[in-house]
Each structure stands twice: as structure tokens, then as C-alpha cells.
Structure 1
Amino acid sequence: MSAQPRTWRGTLRRLPWWLAAAVLAIGCLIWIYPFLWMVSASLKTSADVFTKGLDLLPGNPIWENYERAWAEADFGKYLLNTVIVTVCTVVVVVVRCAMAGYVLARHDFRGRKIIMGVLVATLFVPAGYTIIPLVDISQRLGMLNSLTGMILALSGGANVAAILLYVGYFRGIPKELTESALIDGAGFGTVFFRVMLPLAKPVTATVTVLTFLSTWNAFFLPLVFTFSRPDLRTVSVGMLAFVGENGTDWSGMAAAATISLLPVVALFIALQRYFVEGIAGAVKA
């Protein structure tokens, strides 16, 4: 007789957890549904994309959409351009922001607070205001229609969030590590590249993911830099190839978008643990 009430009490105690799990499951489904719909649309005809509404199961999968997106729309070249631009931009941003964050966190010099204030103030400046001076400088340097100019333009921003993440993380590292390295005769470069930067692996992963996402999805700068050089387009700009004068190839665009998202998903899955650790470590510090 006493077992039944005890069972009900246990069920009631676990009820909030079941409700939380159900709410999270519904939220995950809502969050992932657009991606699943896009994958489904990539296997349909352009007419079926609209006539079948929210149906996720294509009747007869049309794999030729991927072949058309890759070959006919020249999306393979756009993907290669995007990989080159993104990888180079990530390397430049990581090294530059890590060095800036290290200096601001571990070195006390005149004007440091002013620099920090200016960096924080740039967070409120819309990115669109910087396009005109970037294009003007790139044109004067003869880099407007090149991947090199695009890389320098995308990596030359303030990247305040990345710098602040490194500042917060480096502040939490004991000073004894750098002091012992300096006593052993190590210089600035040795201390930074052999001691501090390896310790900041979680933040580096976080900055890598954030920079990768922003660069991979960048549109306005790559569009301006490839006006007269369509062969240098990135995947975001290359989507315009599916928009014609008389219509839009929605299924081909969905196939191209699916291809372009695969590297992003793979990178996030590989670095998700370090990504979370980097955010948590920088905020805690």
C-alpha cells in the first residue's frame, strides 16, 4: 500500500525534469527545422518547393540539383575561393587578436585604458560604415579585384569581441608562468607563441569558430571586391547565380546552400567543446 504513494511522489519530483526535456526537444526541433527543410528542398523541383509546402519528404529525390549547383553554376570554384579567403582570414585574425589581447591583459602601459575604451566604442559602429574607406584604400593599393585584398579587408576590422575574449582569458593565467619564462631568457615572441598561445587553445577555438562563421557568410565586402571578377566570388555571392531575370532556381539554390553549410557544421562539431570552454573561461576571468 505504501509503494504506490511513494512511486507517485517520485514521479512528481521528476516531473519538472520531464517538462524541461520536452520543452528543450520542441525548441531543438523548431531550431533545426529550417535546415531540414532546406535539405529537403534541395532534392525537389522548384515547383515542388512551393506546392508541397512544409513537407520534409521529397517524393522522388532529384540528386541532379547538386550536380547542377556544383558544375553548371560553377559552385565548386566559389567554394574553393571561400575556403582560401576564410582560412587566411582566420589565421590573421587569431594571431593579431591574440597578440593584442596578450599585450592589453599582461602589460601595463600608458594609454591602455584609452585603447580599451576605443575598442569597446567600436562595437557600436555599424559595419556598413567601413565599406567605403576599405574599398577606397584597397583600390589605391591595387587590391580591389583580388583575393588578397578581400582577405585583408575581412581581417582588418577591429574584431573587438575576439580581443576581449583573449584579454579575459590571459588575465586568468598566473603571472608566474611568464615570469619564469622571462627569467630563463625568453623574449616576447617566445613567451607568447610557446607559453601563452598554447594555453589559450579554448579561446583560440572560440575565435576560430566565430571568425569562420562571419567570414564564410560575409556578403557585402566579397560582392564589392568581385564586381568585375565573377571568378573570385565566394559562396554567399555565388548564390546570385541562381537568380535569373525571369525566375529563381530555388532547388539549385537550396542544394548550393546545403553544400556551403557542410564545412561550417563539421567545424563546429569538431570544436564545440573548446568553443564552450573558451567562452566560459573568458567570462569567468
Structure 2
Amino acid sequence: MSGRRSLTGLLHLLLLVLGAVWIYPFIWMLFSSLKTNTEYINAGFKLLPEAAQWDNYARAWKVGHFSTYFANSVIITCTTVVIVIVMCALTGYALGRVAFPGRKLFVLAITATMFIPKGYTIIPIYQIIKSLGLLNTLPGIILAESSGAHVLFILLYMTYFHNLPKELEEAAEMDGCGFIRTFVRVMLPLAKPIIATTAIMQFIWTWNSFFVPLIFSINKPDLRTLAVGMYSFVGEHTVDWSGMAAGASISLIPVIVVFIVFQRFFIEGISGSVKG
């Protein structure tokens, strides 16, 4: 018994050490955002600054235009999340509840798109956005970000809806609900864990997205997101490292808050889909 306790204690100690190593870069970035550029370069692995430089955050917010980039990121990310949730929920509902010819082939086809790197699809996406007259606009970036199959989310919805009792649809039909009305009033409210999972993951991916916002805002810096806005700290001959660390700290706050608020639903959504 004592040997098992010792082994458990060693395992916990090992996990704590690994956790500290894992989180150290994040803590180092937070403390680095409070240093001067000279101290940042010469500090090495030293965490605590000699004197906290809170002006770094003011410089990132105002001089670095992070107030504009933050607003762009919020608009692009939240709108993209809503679009992806609606598209994937409808697709997953159709695949999970309707037995139509070629259903399995369609699932295999969209699953195969998971292996296509996003960089290979940027040219057709760019051409489509251009043909719609949405280049250098926020709607264009939103449409580009929300494009794609989003196979993981579709499969999560498909599995979840497939495992719901058929009696729910039959009861809704008896009450006069059609296909869409049944989906909106009965099925979708039951899929809150999957909605939360989709919202969290898509929020993180879109918020941290760099390639697509860079391509579609390259000719209009006012449309940059926070990830792309890091360029504002890079000059021709110098780099504002402490300002960049402050900007990175600002950009991480919404991601952390969203995950903390919705983590319970996120875990329920993943575990429910795995069980299904």
C-alpha cells in the first residue's frame, strides 16, 4: 500500500514538473511584456522585471493599433463562429438523420478533404472572394475564414444527431413540425454540448488565424487582426519585443476567457461524441 502511494506521489510530482515546463513559456511572455526591450534581450530565462513597464500595454493598444485589430478580430471571429455552427449543424443533421442515396460516399468525400492543406485552397478562395467584389473588406475575410468543409464539426454533429431517439422527430411531426422546424425547435437545443465544442474550437482557430487574414488584408492594414497586427512591432532595422509580448498577452485574454466559460460544455460535447 505504501509503495502504491509512493508511486502515485512520484507520478503527481512528475506531472507537476511537466506542467510547469509546459506553462513556462506563457508565464515568461507575461513577465516579458513588463520589461524594457534592453532587459528583454539581456534577461535570458529571468522572469521578474526590474520595474514593471505597464506602458508597454498602452503602446501596444494605441501606437501598435491593437484597439483596431482587436475590434476586427472580435467581428471576424464571432461572425465566423456563427456561420460555421449553422452550416455544420445543418449538414450534420442531414447526414445523421436522413438516409439518402450516396450518403456514405458523401461522408467519405468530405472526410478526405481533411488531408488537403489550407494553403492549397487559398487561390480558388481568393478568386471567389474577388469575383464577389469583397476583396479588402471584413465580409470578404469572414467568408474566407468560414469557408471549407469543417469536417470535424460536421462529424461531431452527425454522430450526436444520429444517436438521438427517433421518437423525438415523430413527436415533432405529430405536432405539425416540418424538417427545418424540427431541427430548430427540437434537435438543435439538444445539441448544446456540440455547439459549445464547435464554438470554442472555431473561436480559437479563427482568433489565432494568420494566413487568411494576412492574404485578405495585405493591401488594407486597417483590416488586420491581432495575429497579423504583430507585424506593427517589426521595423526595418529594429523589433519592439516588449511591445510584441504585450500585444500577444492582450490577444490571449479572450481565448482563455472563452475556454474557461465553456469548458464544461466542451468536455461534454467531446465525451458524448466519442461514446456515440
TM over 0.5: yes
Which of residues 101, 122, 132 in structure 2 aligns to 1:131? 122
Aligned to 1:49: 40
Equivalent AA in structure 2 for residue 271 of structure 1: F
Aligned to 1:78: 69
Which of residues 227, 230, 244 in structure 2 aligns to 1:236? 227
Aligned to 2:100: 109
Q: State the 1:23 CA deviation.
A: 1.8
Q: State the 1:206 CA deviation.
A: 0.7
Please give the alpha-carbon distance, in whole angstroms, between the structure 1 residues aligned to 2:175 and 2:224: 49
Structure showing greater Rg: 1
Equivalent AA in structure 1 for residue 254 of structure 2: P
Please say if 1:278 is aligned against 2:269.
Answer: yes
Which of residues 176, 182, 202 in structure 2 aligns to 1:211? 202
Q: Percent of aligned pairs with the same residue?
A: 52
Please give the alpha-carbon distance, in whole angstroms, between the structure 1 residues aligned to 2:6 and 2:96: 46
1:112-169 per-residue CA deviation (whole Å, 9 max, x = no partner) reads: 1111011110011011011111111111111011000111111111100110111111
Which of residues 112, 115, 123 in structure 2 aligns to 1:121? 112
Aligned to 2:13: 22
SS in 1 for 2:121: helix
Aligned to 2:22: 31
Please give the alpha-carbon distance, in whole angstroms, between the structure 2 residues aligned to 1:184 and 1:81: 44
Equivalent AA in structure 1 for residue 92 of structure 2: G
Aligned to 1:175: 166
SS in 2 for 1:157: coil
Q: State the 1:11 CA deviation.
A: 2.6
Equivalent AA in structure 1 for residue 148 of structure 2: G
Please give the alpha-carbon distance, in whole angstroms, between the structure 2 residues aligned to 1:128 and 1:156: 13
Please give the alpha-carbon distance, in whole angstroms, between the structure 1 residues aligned to 2:105 and 2:221: 42
Please give the alpha-carbon distance, in whole angstroms, between the structure 2 residues aligned to 1:24 and 1:88: 38
Equivalent AA in structure 2 for residue 281 of structure 1: G
Aligned to 1:7: none
Equivalent AA in structure 2 for residue 92 of structure 1: I
RMSD (Å) for aligned C-alpha atoms: 0.9
Where in structure 1 are there 5+ consecutive unaligned residues? Answer: 1-9
Please say if 1:61 is aligned against 2:52.
Answer: yes
- Using the size of structure 1 for normalisation, the TM-score is 0.95
Q: State the 1:183 CA deviation.
A: 1.7
Where in structure 2 are there 5+ consecutive unaligned residues? Answer: none
Equivalent AA in structure 1 for residue 9 of structure 2: W
Aligned to 2:181: 190
Please give the alpha-carbon distance, in whole angstroms, between the structure 1 residues aligned to 2:38 and 2:205: 32
Please give the alpha-carbon distance, in whole angstroms, between the structure 2 residues aligned to 1:206 and 1:30: 27
SS in 1 for 2:133: coil
1:68-126 per-residue CA deviation (whole Å, 9 max, x = no partner) reads: 00001111000000000000000000011011001100100011111101111001101
Please say if 1:91 is aligned against 2:86.
Answer: no
